[in-house]
Structure formats: C-alpha cells, structure tokens
Amino acid sequence: MSTMINIKTIPRPHGFTLNEHTFSLRFHGDISAQDIPEYIPVQIFVHVDDKWAGELFPVVHTAPGERLVENEPLTAGMFPFLPLPQDFQPSSPHEWLWLMKNIEGDLLADPHLSNTNPERYFLMRELFWMAFIAAFPAFPHGTNWPRWDPQISMEGDFISRWVLKDSTDFGYDGFPNAHAAIRQFVWEKFSATVEEILLIPVTY
C-alpha cells in the first residue's frame, strides 16, 4: 500500500527544509504457522516530489515500540545550566554567548535525547535559540554569527517565528541600539519559559 502525506516546511536563512515527521506502522491480520520467524523484513519507501528530489534527502530512523514510554516529568535537574548565576547580565552579548555554548553542550551530550526524552530536548533547543538570538540579534542578516552544530535543528516556536516574521518584527532595524531591546525581549521570553514550565526562578 502507499499513502501521501504533507510535511510542514521550516524556513531557513536562504530557503527552507522539511520538518521531521514521526509516524507509526501497524499490521493487521494473523498468519498461521508453526515455525515463527524472529523477524519479517519490511521495505519502506519515501518519495519526495521530483521538483525537490535533488535537494531534499529523507532519512528514516527506526524506533522500536518498546521505547515509546511515557516521559518522566521535566525537572530543573535536567537542565544543568539552570538556574543562571545571580550576576548574569542579560544586556551582555558575552553572557548570552556563554549560555548558548552551555546549552549547546548539554544538547549534544546525549545523541539520543530527542528520542528518549523529546520534551526535555525540545525545551532545551528552544532555550538554545533564545540564547543564540540574544547573543547575535542581527541573525539571520549578514554573516557576523557562528555556525552552530548541525545536529541542532533550526526548529521550534521561537526560532521559526524569528526567521519567518523576520527580526524587524522584534525591533531590529540595523542599528546597535536595537540590540538592547531585542536582548531585553529575549530575556523576558527566556525567563517566562523557564518559570512557567520548570517552576523555578531563572536565576539563583
């Protein structure tokens, strides 16, 4: 059998990619047999429209059903970079760069985190992009920002809105004094996210 599904696009600085899509596969019917094989090979094909076939390359990962267990509740201990130091200066790009690097390290420490605890992974990724934008408010304009590890996808509510609506919607007009307003905006968003989801103060 075959089926057609629509995959949401994710804006990138110079184009777009496709959102990761998770689906389940079930089998109906029974086979009468005395000798039951341990495995049955099943082929799965993913076809991208010919218009994009040379630029978009689907990668299929398997996740056995027994791994699909209920996630443990999110706690502050799952986020080693929190709470932030009491003297954290949200107006300083260097402070945000330090925080961005810390979050990046935690995101990459467990390559299976997005599968074993997706809620933790998604929140950590959301906070990473907030810190990234606060450190480099001009993004995605120009080139004065670093390349992040490609394992960290450019997805999530915050970064998608930032790129899709353009940073000018958040106050960036190309002048340095706009950076302070953006950092303040990100700080308020970052603090509210931490306090509402993890129920802890953002700083000691």
Place of tokens 């799965």: 44
- Is-contact 97 135, C-beta < 8 A? yes
Residue 135 burial (CB < 10 Å; 0-12/13-18/19+)? buried
Question: What pTM did the predictor assign?
Answer: 0.64
CA distances from 180 to 113, 152, 187 (A): 33, 26, 10
Give the lowest-confidence range in 25-29, 33-37, 47-51, 120-124. 25-29
pLDDT surpassing 80 at residue 189:
yes
136 DSSP assignment? -
Work out the number of other CB atoms within 10 angstroms of the CB of residue 5. 7
Give the mean pLDDT of 10-37.
74
Q: How confident is the model at residue 43 (pLDDT cuts 50, 70, 90)?
A: confident
